[in-house]
Structure 1
Amino acid sequence: MGIRNFTRCESALHSEVEALRWAMENMLQHSPCQSFGTDCKELITMIKEPQEWPSFATELEKIETLQICFPDFKIIHVPRAQNQSFDFLAKTARTFRKELLFIGCYIPVWLCRPSQV
């Protein structure tokens, strides 16, 4: 699990691509993780068919380069309804006024839990 609040990107899809790149870079340093999940079907399509998204060529090149480091790279669709903890973390990160960065296996105690919100 990881969260980071980014400065605003050009679009929500740009944010998704940037978040995946950040997650991949951090997993190389902190975990043997090979599988990534997202609730964004367009992101999965972009990864599988980058040539169909020329306006994202630079961003997708970075992800393709990172994929080389993940021999068993997988990205799967996880519907938001089945992803409540991660959705909560994303919404919480957006409320922070300062930079927020977290990588770990559990939601940290300094963040309110979904049941506490």
Structure 2
Amino acid sequence: MGARSLSRLRSPIEAEAEALRWALLNMVRFNYRRVIFESDCKELIQAIQEESYRPSICTYTADILRKLDKIGDHRVVFKSRQGNEVADRVAKEASNFESNSSVLFSTMPSWIQTYVEADKPMV
């Protein structure tokens, strides 16, 4: 789990693309080989699947695709914001960062515990 505050970008889709790119950088850095990336941005998913779909972010999508090639088994899928409240809460927490620092957690922070518990499927 990680979070990073981003400097000003031109559009929300650029922020989504940069967030995915940063997640990919970390997964490659830590040598993860089986990863499912979830995004609540349908437009970004479509831009990754159809490279010519959104020319304004083609630099981001090209870089994302290069990094995805470095990860063995991967998927990039749409997941509604309501379907992943943990990621939404982490993103909101990052927006409170005072600098462009990034944080990677090796253990679950206490402030996210209730969201993780609520996200668990009922058995």
TM-score scaled by structure 1? 0.84
Counterpart of 2:68, as a letter, is Q
Identity %: 32
Look up the SS of the partner of 1:51 in the other structure: coil
Q: Which residue of 2 aligns with 1:27?
A: 27
Gaps spanning 5+ residues in structure 1: where?
Answer: none
Q: What letter is aligned with 2:2?
A: G
For normalisation by structure 2, the TM-score amounts to: 0.80
Structure 1 residue 107, shift from structure 2 partner: 3.4
Residues 4 and 101 in structure 1, CA contact (< 8 A), matched pair in contact too = yes
Shift of 1:113: 3.9
Moved more, 27-36 or 100-109: 100-109
Using the alignment, how far apart are the partners of 2:68 and 2:85 within structure 1? 27
- CA deviation after TM superposition for structure 1 residue 31, in Å: 4.9
Count of aligned pairs between the two proteins: 113
The answer for the alignment partner of 1:85 in structure 2 is 86
Report the Cα offset of residue 100 of structure 1.
3.6
Q: Which amino acid aligns with 1:54?
A: P
Q: What amino acid does structure 2 have at the position aligned with 1:87?
A: D
4+ residue segments displaced more than 3 Å? 104-107, 112-115
1:44–1:106 Cα change, 3 Å: farther
What 5-or-longer segments of structure 2 have no aligned partner?
A: 115-123
Check if 1:15 corresponds to 2:15.
yes
In 1, the alpha carbon distance for the partners of 2:55 and 2:89 equals 32
Query: Could you say what the CA RMSD is over the residues aligned between the two structures, in angstroms?
Result: 1.9
Q: 1:90 to 1:42 in 2, by over 3 A?
A: same
